[in-house]
Amino acid sequence: MQTLTLTVNGAAVTLTLDERTLLVELLRDHLRLTGTHVGCDTSQCGACTVHLDGVAVKACAVLAVQAEGAEILTIEGVGSTEHLHPMQAAFREHHGLQCGFCTPGMIMAGIDIASRHGPAPDEPTVRAELEGNLCRCTGYHNIVLAIQAGARAMGVPSSVATA
Amino acid sequence: MFPFTYHRPVELASAHALLVANEDAKLLAGGQTLIATLKQRLASPSDLVDLARVPGLTGMAREGEALTIGAMTRHAQVSASPLVVEALPALAELAGRIGDPAVRNRGTLGGSIANNDPSADYPAACLGLGAAIVTDRRVMAAGDFFLGLFETALEPDEIIVSVRFPIGGWAAYAKFANPASRYAMAGAFVWKGEGGVRVAITGAGQNGVFRWGAAEEALAADFRPAALEGLALDGDDMIADIHGSGTYRAHLAGVMTRRAVARILERGSP
Ligand SMILES: Cc1cc2nc3c(=O)[nH]c(=O)nc-3n(C[C@H](O)[C@H](O)[C@H](O)COP(=O)(O)OP(=O)(O)OC[C@H]3O[C@@H](n4cnc5c(N)ncnc54)[C@H](O)[C@@H]3O)c2cc1C
Ligand code: FES
Ligand code: FES
């Protein structure tokens, strides 16, 4: 067993866990943050995408112990029911989801794309960036539109985006 | 996963001591290969030695005519580094096409070459650029480092510290990515500079990454895609699996080599 401390959605948490615990298990099973999904458990689908120290990672491919001291942001931490994050609002507006299973990962990936590529990523860029996020329902078209709209709404200046 | 003990050393020497003290210990870098291997119970290390907090393993620096990249530098950092983009644009591009963004945010240069997957990208760049692999005890030429399928010259307790890539010449990498995994079905890293031409092929050979000597000779004499006409790798030496036959991969390796040559010429050199 190993004791670790990390920040999840702005709150410090300390847990004692089996070394084999995955970051996604820490989030879902121990903190009950079940918005982060497990679609494949083999690093393919991106449903488990969260931000670790500001960058997108697949939480099924990170051991919880590797996240000691890190800041984790999950879908629960990006907005609230009253105040959706601009990327969440864009997914609703543009029908970027059907069953919704891939959506938390898509939104976390989308925010990551906007923070690196700025407010106006073109379609090929968004499609290439979604290489690691699979959707079984939508055919991606509206997901791409939603991420472009969300990036615009986030309005991250491109100087920040290219840093 | 089988149970293991997790260590987070903060010095290279203590990481090494842990490997020596525990015969079945394994280093953990980005975990993008190793964690999947543990999940499938294909490996059962007694101990995992996480390199994340060991100082001096991350970062990129230009030292004279070489670019040194730390073993723990993530693929995303390499692809976005202005230093790499300027000194070795083909290397930055290669790093930016490994897997997907989340994999690139975790996966490391050291982990990739230590693993020496026959379809991995970095091994082709190391061979093609004539890189030197720097470990905690020696410096090895890339040609002496990659030995075969998932096999390298590393000792069980040896730790890769950095890779030194010579700067100079012109290079390009062309990869036909498996549409599902993004690993190379065939990838060709071509370099032309003082001292000739190197062609490193990944994704295709049954023994992992290799240099295609016949193509190097033909291109040294005449650096044009057409110089490769009539040259072919032997399909019997290539990987054959559900994704493609050996003959298919041999053909694809030729196509990728011609594309890499064409790209070098397009960019106005040499
Ligand atoms: C979905 C997906 C797609 C991918 N696509 C590609 C692709 O297109 N092209 C490609 O090349 N790769 C691809 N990869 C693999 C990826 O690049 C891995 O990051 C890489 O192969 C391993 O690096 P790592 O840092 O994650 O190493 P780990 O998984 O942590 O370690 C791998 C091995 O290297 C050893 N090791 C690690 N660091 C050192 C060191 N400093 N010294 C000695 N030994 C060390 C470990 O003990 C272990 O045996 C993909 C992976 C995934 C999950
Ligand atoms: S559950 Fe992590 S990538 Fe699919
Ligand atoms: S909306 Fe159903 S998987 Fe994407």
Q: Give the ranges where chain B is alpha helix by DSSP (H).
A: 12-21, 34-39, 75-80, 82-87, 89-95, 101-106, 109-115, 122-129, 142-145, 213-221, 246-266
Q: Domain check: are A48 and A104 in the same one?
A: no
Domain boundary among A43, A77, A111: A77
Give the span between the Cα atoms of B211 and B91, in whole angstroms: 17
Ligand 2 center to B114 CA (angstroms): 24
pTM recorded for the entire structure = 0.96
Residue segments in chain B with a per-residue pLDDT below the cut of 70: 269-270
Q: Identify whether B251 is part of a domain.
A: yes
Q: Domain check: are A99 and A122 in the same one?
A: yes
> B-side interface with A, Cβ within 8 Å?
1, 3-6, 8, 28, 31-32, 35-36, 38-39, 48, 50, 52, 76, 99-103, 105-106, 180-182
Q: At A37, phi and psi to the nearest 5?
A: -100, 160
Kindly state the tokens that stand for A22.
């995955």
Give the span between the Cα atoms of B231 and B214, in whole angstroms: 7
Q: Domain check: are A9 and A59 in the same one?
A: yes
- On chain B, the residues whose CB falls within 8 A of the CB of A129 are 101
At residue B15, the pLDDT reads 98
Taking the CA of A25 as reference, the closest ligand is 2
At residue B156, the pLDDT reads 96
Note whether B101 contacts A109, CB cutoff 8 Å. Answer: yes
Q: Domain check: are A52 and A23 in the same one?
A: yes
- The CATH number of whichever domain residue A91 belongs to comes to 1.10.150.120
Tell me the mean pLDDT per 10 residues along chain A, length 163: 97 98 98 98 97 98 98 97 96 97 98 96 97 96 98 76 42
User: How far is the alpha carbon of B31 from chain A, nearest alpha carbon, in Å?
Assistant: 7
ipTM reported for the complex surpasses 0.90: yes
At residue B270, the pLDDT reads 57
At residue A161, the pLDDT reads 45
User: Which residues constitute the domain of residue B208?
Assistant: 169-270
Q: Domain check: are A47 and A100 in the same one?
A: no
- The CATH number of whichever domain residue B42 belongs to comes to 3.30.43.10
At residue B269, the pLDDT reads 63
- On chain A, the residues whose CB falls within 8 A of the CB of B5 are 19
Domain boundary among A23, A51, A77: A77
Q: Domain check: are A6 and A72 in the same one?
A: yes
User: How far is the alpha carbon of A28 from chain B, nearest alpha carbon, in Å?
Assistant: 18
Q: What is the pLDDT of residues B174-229, one digit of tens each?
A: 999 998 888 999 999 999 998 899 999 999 999 999 999 999 999 999 999 999 99
Beta-bridge partner residues of B140: B133
At residue B52, the pLDDT reads 98
Question: Whose structure tokens read 């997790």?
Answer: B6
Note whether A131 contacts B182, CB cutoff 8 Å. Answer: yes
Ligand 1 center to A128 CA (angstroms): 21
User: How far is the alpha carbon of A61 from chain B, nearest alpha carbon, in Å?
Assistant: 6
Give the nearest partner residue to A57 out of B6, B36, B105, using CB atoms: B105
User: Which residues constitute the domain of residue A126?
Assistant: 86-154
Ligand 2 center to B109 CA (angstroms): 22
Q: Domain check: are A36 and A96 in the same one?
A: no
Q: Identify whether B90 is part of a domain.
A: no
Q: Domain check: are A142 and A93 in the same one?
A: yes
Q: Identify whether B267 is part of a domain.
A: yes
Q: Domain check: are A27 and A90 in the same one?
A: no
Cα distances (Å, whole numbers) of residue B3 to A20, A158, B39, B48: 7, 45, 11, 10
Q: Identify whether A162 is part of a domain.
A: no
Q: Domain check: are A124 and A91 in the same one?
A: yes
At residue B195, the pLDDT reads 84
Number of H helices, E strands in chain A: 7, 5
Give the nearest partner residue to B105 out of A44, A55, A63, using CB atoms: A55
Q: Identify whether B72 is part of a domain.
A: no
User: How far is the alpha carbon of B181 from chain A, nearest alpha carbon, in Å?
Assistant: 8
> Among the atoms of ligand 3, which is closest to the Cα of residue A137?
2
Q: How many domains does one find in chain B?
A: 2
Note whether A57 contacts B8, CB cutoff 8 Å. Answer: no
- Give the burial class of A43: count Cβ atoms within 10 A of its Cβ; 0-12 exposed, 13-18 middle, 19 or more buried: buried
Q: Domain check: are A133 and A111 in the same one?
A: yes
Domain boundary among A37, A55, A77: A77
Q: Identify whether A121 is part of a domain.
A: yes
Q: How many domains does one find in chain A?
A: 2
Q: Identify whether B61 is part of a domain.
A: no
